[in-house]
Amino acid sequence: MSSSSVSTAIVVGAGIFGVSSAVNLARLGVTTTLINDGPVANGASGRSLAWLNSSRVRSEEYHRLRMIGIDRYRTLATRHPDADWLRFDGGLTWDADNAANDIAAAFAHEKAIGYEALHLDGPEIAAVTPGVDAGTVTPQGAIFNPGEGWVDLPGLIEVLLAEFLKLGGALVTDAGRASVTIEAGRARGVATVDGRSFAADAVLVATGPAVPLMAAEAGQPIGDATPVALLVKTKPYGLPLRAVLNTPRVAIRPTPTGALVLDSGWSEEEIIIHTDGTYEARDSTVQGLLSEASRVLEGNPVLELDSYAMGPKPIPGDGQPVLGELADIPGYYVAFSHSGATLGLIIGELLAGEIATGERHPLLAAFRPERFAQV
């Protein structure tokens, strides 16, 4: 279904989806209020690896959307040529040396769909991308994707938020938990825990891992496979690494300050989740990530811990993004996806267009929330 055009909107959640959507709504002339439970970028966007890519195998619709998302970043890069928060220095990936190694098949698939890729043996890597200990690459080799990059999401959000405020957008932070007000079957605004209420013609819920719960309260099921993730940040180093690395035991991304951020699948499994909802990372897990990163970097430098952060990492139940208006509640929109960085700009653009005009965009057809109600 579709909504009529709107003049006022509320966006709940000031991560990349929320801020991107808010600034695009403001660009379209919609009076927009952006509400967040705490400070801006205090959720998943503040602890994301933020790798810009569409590597490996995924649905045709998802790949197309991700590629358009990367294209929007390239356009942004031309407007901010000196930005230190956005880089396109490629991505290097290799798998473990076991029966699950999928590098050859992944490379064949990427070449078949026109995704730029090089299949490299260890000794070839230094000439293509610096900073890697090529001796740690498994015998099946690695894939280098020259068109990939990374973004520092807090840095990008700061830029987008400045434009949003300049366009007259309103920002409400530290509001605590917000709930969507539904009257006569339609979203009419938002209420916050401190008793404030905000009226609007449409509401976008972009609260990361909280989206499924908020949608469920409105009677809309959304499949949820969200884990708790850990992101470790090192102290700055003068290392030559520029590409994003995805290796069997650690993923590594440079930062604007010369530090590195690290994550992995195994470290997620070691996070302690307490009964009060808080999280704890074992020192052995944090040090393990630092050691794994050192092992794959040229010269095997001793990496020192600067900080780490934990929290839910949004992943829909079927792995595909969940985007658009709830089928049974006009004016109630959601944005929920694992690929927040890659899709951040394009999703804000497309959802803002849908909210402002009431017209559904065909690029989002495969990602509608009602698919979960049809199971």
Q: What would the pLDDT profile of 346-374 be if each residue is shown by its tens digit?
A: 999 999 999 999 999 999 999 999 999 86
Residue 274 is predicted with a pLDDT of: 95
Does 3.30.9.10 match the CATH number of domain 86-148+225-312?
yes
Residue 373 is predicted with a pLDDT of: 86
In the chain, the percentage of residues whose pLDDT exceeds 90 is: 97
Backbone angles phi, psi at 116, to 5 degrees: -60, 125
How many CB atoms lie under 10 A from the CB of residue 353? 18
Q: What would the pLDDT profile of 259-285 be if each residue is shown by its tens digit?
A: 999 999 999 999 999 999 999 999 999
Question: Residue 203, CB half-sphere, CA atoms under 13 Å: how many?
Answer: 29
Q: Which residues pair with 316 in a beta bridge?
A: 224
Domain extents for the chain?
8-46+154-223+317-372, 86-148+225-312
Mean pLDDT of 191-205: 96
Q: At what angle do helices 16-27 and 153-166 cross, to 10 degrees?
A: 30
Q: What would the pLDDT profile of 296-329 be if each residue is shown by its tens digit?
A: 999 999 999 999 999 999 999 999 999 999 999 9
Mean pLDDT of 179-183: 97
pTM for the full predicted model: 0.95
Q: Is the Cβ–Cβ distance between 214 and 314 less than 8 Å? A: no
Q: Is the Cβ–Cβ distance between 244 and 148 less than 8 Å? A: yes
* CA pair distance 36, 111, nearest whole angstrom: 42
Residue 4 is predicted with a pLDDT of: 54
Residue 3 is predicted with a pLDDT of: 45
Q: What would the pLDDT profile of 121-162 be if each residue is shown by its tens digit?
A: 989 999 999 999 999 999 999 999 999 999 999 999 999 999
Assign domain 8-46+154-223+317-372 to its CATH architecture: 3-Layer(bba) Sandwich (3.50)
Residue 194 is predicted with a pLDDT of: 87
